[in-house]
């Protein structure tokens, strides 16, 4: 007896233990460690491939999460999404800063002095 819908339709209604045996077998199938090892390895591989795609799209976190959540479909979504622009670099320390930062968060040098006046941003 296998654990699928055909086993359910072929269940003998006169045998009171048949349903319990089928349930036990299906439970055994779901708790089989090889199934879980396969699922965990597959999930890690999906996340790693997503991270690899993200490395070339400059969006490692986004594409890793897409690969983790959706597997190969997430890879396709990652490939279709536009690449993120690299962050601008601080002219002083050459570390990445946000485009709307007033000061470098690494070395504290003022970025684009006076450019924020009148923009309404804090
Ligand atoms: Zn800096």
Instruction: State in Å: Cα 92 to ligand 1 middle.
Output: 5
> Which tens digits make up the pLDDT trace of 81-110?
999 888 889 999 999 998 889 999 999 999
Ligand 1 centroid vs 87 CA: distance in angstroms? 13
Q: Report how far ligand 1's centroid is from the alpha carbon of 119 (Å).
A: 23
Ligand 1 centroid from CA 88, angstroms: 11
Residue 121 CA to ligand 1 centre (angstroms): 21
More confident residue, 5 or 103: 103
- How would residue 13 be classed by pLDDT, with cut points 50, 70 and 90? confident
CA of 102 to the centre of ligand 1 (A): 11
Measured between its terminal Cα atoms, the distance across the chain in Å is 68
Residue 103 C-alpha to ligand 1 middle, in angstroms? 8
Specify the 3-state DSSP secondary structure of 104. coil
Confidence at 41, pLDDT banded by 50, 70, 90: very high
Does pTM surpass 0.85?
A: no
- Give the DSSP per-residue string, 44-78: HHHHHHHHHHHHHHT-HHHHHHHHHHHTHHHHHHH
Per-domain boundaries in the chain: 5-80, 87-122
* Residue with more model confidence, 8 or 39: 39
Contact 23, 7 (CB under 8 A): no
Across 5-35, b (16+ Cβ under 10 Å) vs e yields: eeeeeeeeeeeeeeeeebeeebeeeeeeeee
């Amino acid at each position: 007896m296998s654990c699928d819908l055909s086993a359910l339709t072929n269940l003998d209604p006169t045998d009171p233990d048949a349903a319990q045996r089928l349930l036990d077998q299906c439970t055994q199938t779901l708790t089989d460690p090889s199934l879980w090892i396969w699922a965990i390895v597959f999930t890690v591989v999906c996340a790693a491939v997503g991270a690899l795609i993200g490395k070339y799209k400059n969006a490692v976190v986004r594409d890793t999460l897409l690969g983790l959540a959706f597997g190969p479909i997430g890879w396709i979504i990652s490939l279709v999404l536009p690449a993120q622009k690299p962050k601008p670099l601080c002219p002083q320390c050459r570390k990445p800063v946000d485009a709307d930062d007033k000061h470098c968060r690494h070395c504290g040098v003022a970025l684009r002095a006076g450019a924020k006046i009148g923009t309404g941003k804090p």
